[in-house]
Amino acid sequence: MSEKSERDKKIFQSYLENIKAKTGKTPADFRKLAKKKGLVKPREIVAWLKEEYGLGYGHAGAIYYMIVHADDVKASPEDRIEKLFAGKKVKWRKAYAALEERVRKFGADVEVAPNMTYINLCRGSKKFAIVQTAAERLDIGIKLKGVAPTGRFEAAGSWNAMVTHRVRISDPKQVDKEVFAWLKQAYDAVQGEGPIKIKRRDQRESDLPIELAQPARRALAAAGIQRLEQLTKLSEAEVKQLHGIGPNALAQLRRALGAKGLAFAEELMSTQIQAEHFTHALYTLLDETFDNVHGYFLDKGTSMFETLATISAEEASVPVGGKCATLAAQVKHVAFYLDALERNVRTQEYERQDWGKIWRETTAVTPEEWEAIRTQLRESYDRIKKLISDTTEWPSEQHIGGAIAAIVHTAYHLGEIRQALCTVKH
């Protein structure tokens, strides 16, 4: 395990220990209680933890993560790598093993730190590349700031905000000298990154306030904390509990965090949502809109595909609504919108669209045409669903707005379709 992974593990463990001190319960205890109460939805679990145990949002989120991802948390790095190459992705296992073997020869400080989504390649604690698997390809993300994209060494764009460039590998032979040259350049580049090293006997690399007294430094070191960024995972109350952290040290840390635009966890939680929680919520709402009602805003049996299953081709051909559009046109428009949105997000290119064409041309449909329209919507929905589930970072308001718009826009037309059913069927 890398030093960074080990430090992060210590911080998260400290988080759980503080929760146990407050409630007397472990994550396993909460897991059993949630199962007994039948709580499975994120908002139900978090609300229960906040109301019954007085946990803040950050602490409740940590316990929710432990409840839902218990197996992931326990998984070893080796287990995580095996999971990343499971199923159809196993064909990339040998190619990755060869890549890792060669990258490790860059230096003794190369660290491999897999998470549940991709594999981080680090120089010590500094990431210089990632490897992400898919059934049809291997994606290599490379961090090389200030280097212009060229050829297959393309800009990462919205794919992953943690790197600057992306190389798509569709054949193991494409992991060639050129790719390793880019990886070696990225490895060399991170050597000069980071803050100035403070040379003290008890300090390796730190951006903690230089005026911080030794008792406070020892307290933070014992908790595995050497950098200000690590403090953003802990609340001010939790840091205050560390033996050796007094009012002066706390004030110094608070000022240092503020100077970097950071804050303790409890202050961040009021204005920031963890990307994982946001992605999960979006995915669930999208699923409810199209397929499976979870009880967020729809009644049972009223999702898009459940509704369309009750409509015949003849009914889909009846002009209704303010524009006298058919239900077939409504459905084709939703699929067209999803396709345009997906292209925009994936390519970052915004094409002009003829949004009126479908309304003008889609009128009466045969049973075969109606079935094809519904199939097209299912395929468009599956692509958007995969796009959201694969997203690990939300780099801009545009990306967030686009994802929310897919749900809102579909829900609007679902409402129009369901209102029209009264006219169409009676």
- Answer yes or no: are the C-beta atoms of 192 and 146 closer than 8 Å: no
- Answer yes or no: are the C-beta atoms of 232 and 268 closer than 8 Å: yes
Per the DSSP assignment, residues forming a β-bridge with 320 are: 325
What are φ and ψ of residue 167, in 5° steps? Answer: -125, 120
CATH superfamily membership of 201-272: 5' to 3' exonuclease, C-terminal subdomain (1.10.150.20)
Q: In terms of Cα–Cα distance, which of 272, 274, 278, 281 is closest to 41?
A: 281
Say what the pLDDT of residue 168 is: 95
Where are the chain's structural domains?
1-74, 77-192, 201-272, 275-425
The number of angstroms, rounded, from the C-alpha of 385 to the middle of its chain's C-alpha atoms is: 13
Query: 275-425: what CATH class?
Result: mainly alpha
DSSP string, 299-350: -TT-SHHHHHTT--HHHHTSEETTTTEEHHHHHHHHHHHHHHHHHHHHH---
d(CA 316, CA 363): 9
Mapping DSSP onto H, E and C, the string for 382-407 reads HHHHHHHHCCCCCCCHHHHHHHHHHH
Say what the pLDDT of residue 295 is: 80
Residue 51 corresponds to which tokens in the numbers above?
């109301």
Say what the pLDDT of residue 333 is: 94
Chunked in runs of 10, what are the mean pLDDT values of the chain (426 residues)? 50 71 86 88 83 79 72 68 89 94 93 85 90 92 90 86 90 94 92 44 63 84 82 82 84 85 62 67 88 86 93 90 80 93 75 85 92 94 84 70 88 90 77
Q: CATH topology of 201-272 equal to that of 275-425?
A: no
Q: In terms of Cα–Cα distance, which of 266, 261, 258 is closest to 239?
A: 266
Say what the pLDDT of residue 272 is: 53
d(CA 236, CA 105): 42
- Report the predicted TM-score, pTM, of the whole model to 2 decimal places: 0.41
Say what the pLDDT of residue 334 is: 94
The secondary structure element, H or E, covering residue 229 is helix 228-231
5-45 tens-digit pLDDT: 455 555 566 667 778 888 888 888 888 898 899 888 777 88
Q: In terms of Cα–Cα distance, which of 179, 128, 123 is closest to 151?
A: 179
Say what the pLDDT of residue 204 is: 43
